[in-house]
């Protein structure tokens, strides 16, 4: 096992450099790079920095279906002709990162990351699909402002929506069960456009997040990746 961990560290160093050299919105594809860039990705710092008059119209929606179970991310690029390009990324099983790891047969160094890499998809939205989705986002107040102080634990269900439209930055967040997703009117339509072959993990009633953080768990089951995001007046607060 020790030899495996050494090899894992070496491969991590090899693959981290090229991964972090990618565009900011691609820095979460590989799990090692994702550990450094995930919070910036959800905050959409890259979109915000590029949000100027005459710049690209870009939306990023993140559905946290419990971090350890499933996360879905959508980057939508609105085009001048009314269509949109959509990139989809799905993570699953983040809470089982060691399952079967010592028994993997690695034929390519990148294979070591395969169980935890994003499953991706792309599609072009028609003018009608784009208009409908943007309308549902507007009906959901998805372009902000958010509720200052909202807390988004990793082990709860929530959405974030970051946007740059016509040079105007916007941000919104929705937490379940705080608001029961009552204001989320876009999810069903967005999920219907998502053809990545991983079923959506729908929100369900759970005990409060803090009661599901077992601080007394044995070391071999202890979770080291627990985290909390906090929403500010126009985006995520810095961690």
The one-digit pLDDT tens for each residue of the chain (239 residues) are 444 333 334 334 333 444 333 444 455 554 434 445 789 999 999 999 999 999 999 999 999 999 999 999 999 999 999 999 999 999 987 765 433 333 333 344 444 344 446 789 999 999 999 999 999 999 999 999 999 999 999 999 999 999 999 999 999 999 999 888 999 999 999 999 999 999 999 999 998 887 776 655 544 444 545 889 999 999 999 88
C-alpha–C-alpha distance, residues 214 and 222, integer Å? 8
Task: Return the H-helix or E-strand segment holding 120.
Answer: strand 119-125
Q: Are 171 and 161 in contact (CB under 8 A)?
A: yes
Can you give the residue ranges of every domain in the chain? 37-107+120-200+208-230
The reported pTM is 0.78
| Per-residue pLDDT at 80 | 96
| Per-residue pLDDT at 209 | 83
Q: Are 147 and 171 in contact (CB under 8 A)?
A: no
C-alpha–C-alpha distance, residues 46 and 170, integer Å? 13
With 0-12 CB in 10 A as exposed, 13-18 as middle and 19+ as buried, what is 89? buried
| Per-residue pLDDT at 211 | 77
């Amino acid at each position: 096992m020790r030899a495996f961990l050494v090899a894992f560290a070496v491969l991590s160093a090899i693959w981290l450099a090229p991964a972090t050299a990618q565009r900011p919105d691609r820095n979460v594809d590989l799990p090692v790079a994702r550990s450094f860039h995930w919070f910036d990705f959800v905050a959409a710092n890259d979109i915000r920095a590029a949000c100027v008059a005459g710049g690209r119209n870009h939306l990023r929606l993140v559905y946290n279906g419990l971090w350890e179970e499933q996360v879905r991310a959508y980057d939508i690029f609105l085009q001048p002709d009314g269509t949109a390009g959509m990139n989809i990324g799905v993570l699953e099983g983040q809470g089982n990162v060691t399952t079967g790891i010592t028994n993997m047969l690695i034929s390519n160094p990148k294979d070591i990351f395969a169980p935890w890499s994003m499953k991706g998809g792309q599609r072009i939205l028609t003018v009608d699909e784009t208009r409908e989705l943007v309308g549902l986002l507007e009906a959901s107040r998805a372009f902000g402002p958010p509720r200052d102080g909202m807390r988004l634990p990793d082990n709860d269900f929530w959405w974030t929506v970051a946007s740059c439209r016509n040079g105007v930055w916007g941000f919104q967040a929705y937490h379940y069960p705080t608001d029961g997703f009552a204001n989320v009117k876009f999810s069903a339509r967005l999920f219907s456009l998502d053809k990545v072959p991983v079923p959506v993990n729908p929100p369900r009633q759970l005990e409060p997040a803090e009661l599901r953080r077992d601080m007394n768990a044995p070391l071999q089951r202890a979770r080291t990746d627990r985290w909390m995001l906090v929403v500010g007046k126009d985006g995520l607060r810095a961690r």
